[in-house]
Amino acid sequence: MRACVPLIVAMLCGLAWAGTTESCASRCNEKFDRDAACQCDRRCPRHGDCCEDYEQLCTAEENPKEPKAFLELEEETEEAPASNLYSAPSSCQGRCYEAVDKHHPCHCDARCQEFGNCCDDFEILCGHEGFSHSSDAITKEELRSISEKIYKADTNKAQKADIVLNSQKRIPRSETRDRVDCCPEPLFTYVNEKLFSKPTYAAFINLLNNYQRATGHGEHFSAQQLAEQDAFLREIMKTAVMKELYGFLHHQNRYSSEQEFVNDLKNMWFGLYSRGNEEGDSSGFEHVFSGEVKKGKVTGFHNWIRFYLQEKEGLVDYYSHIYDGPWDSYPDVLAMQFDWDGYYKEVGSAFIGSSPEFEFALYSLCFIARPGKVCQLSLGGYPLAIQTYTWNKSTYGNGKKYIATAYVVSST
């Protein structure tokens, strides 16, 4: 193992990097520069060519209240944040009584009929027959409340004695690009693997070997693998966690039946799309929970069970962390750096000790309620924020978007 680079060297490296055209330092909202390696203009999220620090440096003033304890770097130019993209902008599906977005061709707010700019299906989807209250928008207070209920309902989570974590060296965010292994020991000293015999854990683990991690290679599922997807959804829907989530979304008029909800989860998470040259080489589930490799870097890979199993096999080498959550029990949150069989993850956030259904529920909640935005939740009295991104190049049923990624971005 190499020793950590001295702080002064890391600082100098950071300063040198900030001065290149691969950073948005001093470049926010500049005009398009064809000679630059990446862009910092206002349209770069739409075109997918922003510099990695664009969101951190150039949107801070626009969203001063959004928590930014650390920045997750997803090396996915296709993952552009967008407002209310869960459904097509030309439809009111999932958009009833939302705030007006001037970029949409038609609107679904309470006054659209007054101004004559409603979407064609506004009356059908947003009239009195479809909604029990005047606003279908899920509020921050409602999100915090349901996330606390989900947190309390996670009876399958690890107990303190089930996991011994050895987080070791914490480094500043500025040093994460150095790819230096600061931790000689594994992250997990001990995990009680009896957890993995629980139905949802077992069904989840069965899914992890169904994917090729390199993008650009199409996924081709066998009948058995498709059955494993259904088995996972079936098992998690038996849990109190998912019953809480469905009950909440049903009350919000997002789903009329549990079967509709399950069908949508299967599409948004397991539906295939292309991140590379091959059709159907990726999905939200593969990216978030199993992990992928694109352009020589690790993308996604936000699950502690996957991390532990790969570390146990000697395929993951834990390097350091930049954030450890305030929770004194599980689930906790860790933002870390690691090597996955020769490929580096600069910042990867993950819940630690949560059940598969817990993560699946929170990410789904945020994708449905705040697609392409920061979603502010509360767990055990502590704030937590999740960022989701929509896949904008293809859709499923009624123009709905697939999940591109979802991960924890902050808890302060």
What does the pLDDT look like over 251-288, one tens digit per residue?
999 999 999 999 999 999 999 999 877 688 899 999 99
160 exposed, middle or buried (CB, 10 Å; 0-12, 13-18, 19+)? exposed
Q: Which range has the worst mean pLDDT, 4-8, 105-109, 132-136, 238-242?
A: 132-136
Mean of per-residue pLDDT scores for the chain: 83
Per domain, the residue ranges of the chain are: 91-129, 140-409
Cβ-Cβ contacts under 8 Å for 235 (sequence gap 6 or more): 199, 200, 203
Cβ-Cβ contacts under 8 Å for 155 (sequence gap 6 or more): 239, 240
Compute the Cα dihedral for 17, 19, 24, 26 and give only its sign.
Answer: positive
The CATH number of 91-129 is 4.10.410.20
Q: What is the pLDDT of residues 27-41, one digit of tens each?
A: 887 777 777 878 888
Of 5 and 273, the structure prediction assigns the larger pLDDT to 273
pLDDT for the residue numbered 65: 39
How many angstroms separate the Cα of 50 from the Cα of each of 38, 41, 81, 389?
5, 8, 12, 15
Measured CA to CA, the distance from residue 369 to residue 100 in angstroms comes to: 16
Of 245, 250, 343, 228, the residue nearest 292 (C-alpha): 343
Structure tokens given for 385: 């924020």
**Residue 129 predicted with pLDDT over 70:** no
Give the helix/strand (H/E) hosting 403.
Answer: strand 400-410
Q: What is the pLDDT of residues 169-193, one digit of tens each?
A: 999 999 999 999 999 999 999 999 9
Cβ-Cβ contacts under 8 Å for 3 (sequence gap 6 or more): none
Is there a contact between 97 and 80 (Cβ–Cβ < 8 Å)? no
Structure tokens given for 119: 């979407």
Q: What is the pLDDT of residues 39-71, one digit of tens each?
A: 888 777 756 678 877 777 776 433 433 344 454
How many angstroms separate the Cα of 20 from the Cα of each of 12, 117, 178, 225?
13, 45, 16, 46
pLDDT for the residue numbered 114: 62
Measured CA to CA, the distance from residue 99 to residue 377 in angstroms comes to: 20
Q: 14: pLDDT confidence band, cut at 50, 70 and 90?
A: very low
Of 99 and 217, the structure prediction assigns the larger pLDDT to 217
Q: What is the pLDDT of residues 357-391, one digit of tens each?
A: 999 999 999 999 999 889 999 999 999 999 999 99
**Residue 2 predicted with pLDDT over 80:** no
Is there a contact between 135 and 252 (Cβ–Cβ < 8 Å)? no
Of 412 and 390, the structure prediction assigns the larger pLDDT to 390
Q: 17: pLDDT confidence band, cut at 50, 70 and 90?
A: very low
Phi (first) and psi of residue 149, to 5 degrees: -65, -40
Percent of the chain with pLDDT over 90: 58
277 exposed, middle or buried (CB, 10 Å; 0-12, 13-18, 19+)? exposed
Mean pLDDT of 121-148: 69
Angle separating helix axes 223-236 and 258-270, nearest 10 degrees: 130
**Residue 8 predicted with pLDDT over 70:** no
Q: 334: pLDDT confidence band, cut at 50, 70 and 90?
A: very high
Of 404 and 14, the structure prediction assigns the larger pLDDT to 404
**Residues annotated as catalytic (active site), given as ranges:** 287, 302, 345
Q: Which range has the worst mean pLDDT, 30-39, 86-95, 176-185, 321-330?
A: 86-95
